[in-house]
């Protein structure tokens, strides 16, 4: 597996990471824990060293899963987790909480669940307009000084937030949605990350599964699958957006690859400091995603994709409004 460095931080990880959220949360009922432990360990055996989780995934159960699965490999992997949500007495999410004292409590709890002495990369999970980002950055800086955290990250933050945080505590990575089906970061965020030396970790690099070509307008999701409330996943939007999958399929056929591999190879070709984190519950999908690292897109291929994609107008918002409001300026 090729390696990449996230920005100026010298945090070296595999060129492709593994997003673990869907194993416990978001895409229907949680998968069998022991099967997922086995899958995560298979990813390590195949050269993946970068694993992504968060306290809110479950909540809490995904961190426990990742901690158990990776405990034999601790010296060889990088684990990223996130803070920022508030939970009720039965574990339900009831809002945001990025107060410094809460951040420190979350760090202690995550350390235990992950079975580690230090969190490799600690992201603020989305943006809280009620807590100055400078206070958040200072709290993580304290944790870094104490040796409990190694690197500071932000998620779905805008340019102003990134600059203000970075001025207090250097930001190693931004985790935000970026793919051929969501390209908003290209306008302002990517140039800012390049200027400041911050890596980008795209979540949903396969468009929440849509860019794999395995989903069409007739696909139905489990009632607990969050895609049921995503405007871009209405049957009408899926039908309209099929044009993008058709484009990927056409190029994939020529390259003897799959649409998912072309979508990931496109992301990897954008910048050397971009590390996508596709998630999966299946070993064959894991192997397919890893195969994307070996797919070489030529400048002509990239121009062709750019030209064809520019003719496609994607339908539907990427998130329901309440989630989109947690994207920072």
Angle between helices 259-270 and 235-255 (to 10 degrees): 80
The closest of 91, 17, 106, 27 to 61, measured between CA atoms, is: 91
The residues that bridge with 203 in the sheet, in sequence order, are 177
Respond yes or no on whether the N-terminal peptide bond of residue 177 is cis (omega within 30° of 0). Answer: no
Token pair, residue 165, equals: 């945080």
Beta carbons of 18 and 281 less than 8 angstroms apart: no
Judge contact between 289 and 278, C-beta under 8 A: yes
Residue 31 DSSP symbol: P
Do 162 and 185 contact (CB within 8 A), yes or no?
A: no
Q: List the Cα angle 5/8/12 in 5-degree steps.
A: 25
**207: Cβ–Cβ under 8 A, 6 or more apart, which residues?**
179, 180, 181, 182, 263
- By DSSP bridging, strand 78-83 and strand 85-87 are unpaired
123 catalytic residue (yes or no) = no
The size of the chain, in residues, is 329
CA gap 312, 322 in Å, rounded: 27
Q: Please give the positions annotated as active site.
A: 57
């Amino acid at each position: 597996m090729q390696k990449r460095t996230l920005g100026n931080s010298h945090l070296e990880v595999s060129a492709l990471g593994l997003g673990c959220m869907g194993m416990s949360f978001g895409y229907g009922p949680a998968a069998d824990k022991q099967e997922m432990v086995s899958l995560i360990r298979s990813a390590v055996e195949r050269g993946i060293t970068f694993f992504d989780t968060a306290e809110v995934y479950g909540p809490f159960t995904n961190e426990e899963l990742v901690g158990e699965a990776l405990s034999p490999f601790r010296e060889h992997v990088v684990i990223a987790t996130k803070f920022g949500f508030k939970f009720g007495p039965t574990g339900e999410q009831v809002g945001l909480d990025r107060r410094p004292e809460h951040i420190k409590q979350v760090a202690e709890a995550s350390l235990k669940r992950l079975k580690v002495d230090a969190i490799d990369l600690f992201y603020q999970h989305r943006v809280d307009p009620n807590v100055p980002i400078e206070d958040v950055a200072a709290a993580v800086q304290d944790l870094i000084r104490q040796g409990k955290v190694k690197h500071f990250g932000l998620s779905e933050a805008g340019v102003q937030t990134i600059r203000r945080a970075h001025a207090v505590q250097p930001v190693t990575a931004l985790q935000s949605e970026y793919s051929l089906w969501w390209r908003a970061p290209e306008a302002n965020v990517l140039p800012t990350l390049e200027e400041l030396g911050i890596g980008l970790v795209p979540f949903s690099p396969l468009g929440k599964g849509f860019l794999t070509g395995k989903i069409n307008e007739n696909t139905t999701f489990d009632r607990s699958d969050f895609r049921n409330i995503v405007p871009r996943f209405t049957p009408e939007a899926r039908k309209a957006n099929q044009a993008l999958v058709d484009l990927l399929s056409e190029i994939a056929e020529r390259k003897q690859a799959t649409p998912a591999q072309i979508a990931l190879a496109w992301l990897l070709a954008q910048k050397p400091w971009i590390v996508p984190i596709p998630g999966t519950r299946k070993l064959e999908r894991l192997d397919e995603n890893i195969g994307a690292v070996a797919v070489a897109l030529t400048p002509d291929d990239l121009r062709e994709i750019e030209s064809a994609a520019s003719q496609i107008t994607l339908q539907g918002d990427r998130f329901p409004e309440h989630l989109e409001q947690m994207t920072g300026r």
